[in-house]
C-alpha cells in the first residue's frame, strides 16, 4: 500500500451501466471542485462488480463524457488512442481487476469473526422473507448461519457447497456517522441486514468493494447521492470491523423534476450525453449542475469552472431536493452562446446544419460567408445549438408562403402588395453597397419621405424574406440573403398576394 498522504483525496466511483446520469455529473463535479480547491487528488474508480448491470462500451463512453465536460481527473483509467490505460499509484482502478483484494479482506473479517459464511439456499431465504412479510416484520436475513460451528463450516466448504460471506452486524445499539450535509446521522442496528460481502459467484458486493477501495486508495471525502445514505451505516460497521478510520461523508440532495418527483428517465432526459447532443455547451451544463444543491449565497449565477473552484463550499450543500429546471438550463446556455465568438459558434453549429440537411459536408467560400452571417443574426435567439436547424432553415430553403401572414395586423392585402412593390422597385434600383446599416437607413428614409409607415411596410418585408412569424429583423435578413435573393423573395411574396 502506498504511503499515507495528508492530501485531500476524493473519488468518483461510477458503475458503467450505459450512460452518465445528470446526478453522476454533479457528483463528479463536486469531487473535482473540492480536489482542485484543496490542491488534492481526484480519483476515478470504476465499480463494475455487478456484472448484471454492466453494459459494453459504457466505460469508454464515460471517459469521453468526462473529457467533454472538462473534468480532468488525476488517477484512474484514461482513454489513450482508443485504448484504456491506467495512471496512478493506487491501482488497479477498475474493481473487476481487484477481486483477489476483496477476497483477502473478506477472509480477514471472517478470521476476526466480524463476518461469516452463509450456506443458506435461495429457497430458504425466500421462505424467511415470506414469513417476515406475513408477520409485518422488516425483511432481512435471520442470522441462521451466523453461529454455525467450525466443523460444519469446514465440512460445507469441503463439500464445495455454494456460500456467500455476510457481515455480522451488531444486533443492538445504533450506528452513527457525521455527514457534511446532514450533520449527525444515526441508524438502529437491528434494522440493518447482515449484508452480503462476497456473493456466491465470488464477486464482492458494492459494500465490501467500496469500503476496501476507499480505504486502500486513501480517500478522505466520500461525496455521493442521497440514495446511498442508507448504505453508509453498513460501511461504517465495516470500517469499524477492519479497525480503519472513516472518511468524511457528504450525501448530496436528490435531483427532482419540477413536480418534485425524482428526476427519472420517464420524464425527460437524464443522460449527460443527450444534453450535449442537443447542443447544451459543456460549460453551461457544468455551471447549471453546480447549482443543483449548492449556491454561493450571492446573486451570481454564471460561473466558469475556475470560478466554481474558488467559490464552492462543501459545507454549504443544501439538504432539500434540488429542482432540475430545464428553462433555467436553456437560459444559462443562451448566456454562454451569446458570449461566444461568431467563428466559434459557427464551427459548433455546422455539424447540426449538416445533419439537418441544410448544408453539405463541404462548403464553398461563399456559403461559408453566408453561414457566418446567418449565425451572426441568430446568435441572440439561440438557446441550444440544435435549434439552429429550425431557426435558420428558411435562409437555405424557401418554405411555403402563407400570404395572410404577410399582412400587418392594421393593414390589408392591397396595401401590403403596394408596399412590397414599392420596396421591390427601390431595391432593384439600389446602387449603394448592400450593407445592413445602409439598406436600413435608406429604407427608413424612403418610408418617411413617402409616408409608407413602418408597420405596413417592414412587417411584410420581414415575412416576405423569412416566411415566418418570428425571425431576425428585416435588415438583418436583407443583409444575409443579399440583394438578388431579397428581390426574388419579395417578388414571390407579391405573386402570392395576387
Contact set with ligand GLU (CB under 6 A): 13-15, 47, 210, 224, 228
CB of 224 to ligand GLU, least distance (A): 4
CB of 65 to ligand GLU, least distance (A): 14
CB of 20 to ligand GLU, least distance (A): 11
Nearer to ligand GLU, 205 or 443 (CB): 205
Helix (H, G, I), strand (E, B) or coil at 222: strand
Angle (CA) 174 177 178, round 5°: 145
Cβ distance 326 to 360 under 8 Å? no
Q: Which residues, other chains included, contact 21 with Cβ-Cβ below 8 Å and sequence gap of 6+?
A: 270, 271, 272
Nearer to ligand GLU, 221 or 417 (CB): 221
Nearer to ligand GLU, 47 or 283 (CB): 47
Nearer to ligand GLU, 15 or 58 (CB): 15
Cβ distance 40 to 8 under 8 Å? yes
Cis peptide upstream of residue 217 (ω within 30 degrees of 0): no
Quick one: which of 12, 16, 41, 39 has its CA closest to 28? 12
From CA 60, how far away is CA 16, in angstroms rounded?
Answer: 9
CB of 148 to ligand GLU, least distance (A): 31
Please report, for the chain, how many H helices and E strands are present, in that order: 18, 13
Cβ distance 106 to 75 under 8 Å? no
Nearer to ligand GLU, 91 or 393 (CB): 91
From CA 415, how far away is CA 176, in angstroms rounded?
Answer: 80
Nearer to ligand GLU, 166 or 224 (CB): 224
Cβ distance 330 to 384 under 8 Å? yes
Nearer to ligand GLU, 221 or 383 (CB): 221
CB of 339 to ligand GLU, least distance (A): 34
> Phi and psi at residue 373, in whole multiples of 5°?
-65, -45
CB of 231 to ligand GLU, least distance (A): 7
CB of 206 to ligand GLU, least distance (A): 6
Cβ distance 263 to 257 under 8 Å? yes
CB of 15 to ligand GLU, least distance (A): 4
Burial class from Cβ neighbours inside 10 Å (0-12, 13-18, 19+) for residue 440 reads middle
Helix (H, G, I), strand (E, B) or coil at 250: strand
Cα 413 to Cα 393, 473, 495: the distances in Å are: 26, 21, 12
Q: Which residues are catalytic?
A: 265
CB of 238 to ligand GLU, least distance (A): 13
Nearer to ligand GLU, 249 or 394 (CB): 249
DSSP secondary structure, 38-49, as one string: TT-EEEE-B---
Nearer to ligand GLU, 210 or 377 (CB): 210
CB of 83 to ligand GLU, least distance (A): 23
Cα 462 to Cα 135, 233, 403, 446, 480: the distances in Å are: 74, 66, 13, 16, 12
From CA 58, how far away is CA 183, in angstroms rounded?
Answer: 35
Q: Which residues, other chains included, contact 71 with Cβ-Cβ below 8 Å and sequence gap of 6+?
A: 28, 29, 32, 42, 286
Q: Which residue has the cell 434494522?
A: 191
Quick one: which of 493, 435, 438, 495 has its CA closest to 468? 493
Nearer to ligand GLU, 194 or 226 (CB): 226
Quick one: which of 458, 441, 13, 405 has its CA closest to 247? 13
From CA 221, how far away is CA 214, in angstroms rounded?
Answer: 9
Amino acid at each position: 500500500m502506498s504511503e499515507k498522504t495528508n492530501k485531500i483525496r476524493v473519488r468518483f466511483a461510477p458503475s458503467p451501466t450505459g450512460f452518465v446520469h445528470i446526478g453522476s455529473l454533479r457528483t463528479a463535479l463536486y469531487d473535482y471542485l473540492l480536489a482542485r480547491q484543496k490542491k488534492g487528488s481526484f480519483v476515478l474508480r470504476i465499480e463494475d462488480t455487478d456484472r448484471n448491470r454492466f453494459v459494453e462500451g459504457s466505460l469508454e463512453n464515460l471517459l469521453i463524457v468526462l473529457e467533454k465536460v472538462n473534468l480532468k481527473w488525476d488517477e484512474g483509467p484514461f482513454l489513450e488512442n482508443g485504448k484504456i490505460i491506467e495512471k496512478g499509484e493506487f491501482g488497479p482502478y477498475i474493481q473487476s481487476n481487484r477481486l483477489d483484494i476483496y477476497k483477502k479482506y473478506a477472509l480477514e473479517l471472517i478470521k476476526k469473526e466480524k463476518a461469516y459464511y452463509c450456506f443458506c439456499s435461495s429457497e430458504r431465504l425466500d421462505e424467511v422473507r415470506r414469513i417476515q412479510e406475513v408477520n409485518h416484520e422488516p425483511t432481512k436475513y435471520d442470522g441462521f448461519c451466523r453461529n454455525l460451528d467450525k466443523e460444519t463450516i469446514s465440512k460445507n466448504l469441503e463439500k464445495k457447497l455454494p456460500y456467500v460471506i455476510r457481515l455480522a452486524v451488531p444486533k443492538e445499539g445504533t450506528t452513527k456517522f457525521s455527514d457534511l450535509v446532514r450533520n449527525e446521522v444515526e441508524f438502529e442496528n437491528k434494522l440493518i441486514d447482515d449484508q452480503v460481502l462476497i456473493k456466491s459467484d465470488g464477486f464482492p458486493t458494492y459494500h465490501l468493494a467500496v469500503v476496501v477501495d476507499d480505504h486502500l486508495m486513501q480517500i478522505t471525502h466520500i461525496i455521493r447521492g442521497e440514495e446511498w445514505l442508507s448504505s453508509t451505516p453498513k460501511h461504517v460497521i465495516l470500517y469499524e470491523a477492519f479497525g480503519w478510520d472513516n472518511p468524511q461523508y457528504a450525501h448530496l440532495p436528490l435531483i427532482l423534476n419540477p413536480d418534485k418527483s425524482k428526476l427519472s428517465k420517464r420524464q425527460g432526459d437524464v443522460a449527460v450525453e443527450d444534453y450535449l447532443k442537443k447542443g447544451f455547451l459543456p460549460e453551461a451544463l457544468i455551471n447549471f449542475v453546480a447549482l443543483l444543491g449548492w449556491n454561493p449565497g450571492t446573486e451570481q449565477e454564471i460561473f466558469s469552472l475556475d470560478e466554481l473552484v474558488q467559490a464552492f463550499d462543501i459545507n454549504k450543500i443544501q439538504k432539500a431536493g434540488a429542482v432540475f429546471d430545464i428553462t433555467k438550463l436553456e437560459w444559462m446556455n443562451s448566456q454562454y452562446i451569446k458570449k461566444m465568438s461568431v467563428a466559434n459558434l459557427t464551427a459548433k453549429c455546422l455539424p447540426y446544419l449538416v445533419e439537418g440537411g441544410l448544408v453539405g459536408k463541404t462548403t464553398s467560400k461563399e456559403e461559408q460567408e453566408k453561414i457566418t452571417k446567418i449565425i451572426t443574426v441568430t446568435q441572440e435567439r439561440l438557446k441550444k445549438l440544435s435549434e439552429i436547424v429550425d431557426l435558420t432553415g428558411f435562409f437555405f430553403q424557401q418554405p411555403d408562403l402563407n400570404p395572410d401572414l404577410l399582412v400587418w395586423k392594421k393593414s390589408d392585402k392591397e396595401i401590403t402588395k403596394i408596399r412590397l412593390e414599392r420596396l421591390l422597385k427601390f431595391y432593384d434600383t439600389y446602387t449603394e453597397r448592400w450593407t445592413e446599416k445602409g439598406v436600413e437607413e435608406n429604407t427608413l428614409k424612403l418610408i418617411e419621405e413617402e409616408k409608407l409607415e413602418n408597420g405596413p411596410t417592414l412587417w411584410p418585408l420581414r415575412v416576405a424574406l423569412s416566411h415566418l412569424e418570428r425571425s431576425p429583423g428585416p435588415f438583418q435578413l436583407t443583409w444575409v440573403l443579399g440583394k438578388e435573393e431579397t428581390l426574388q423573395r419579395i417578388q414571390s411574396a407579391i405573386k402570392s398576394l395576387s
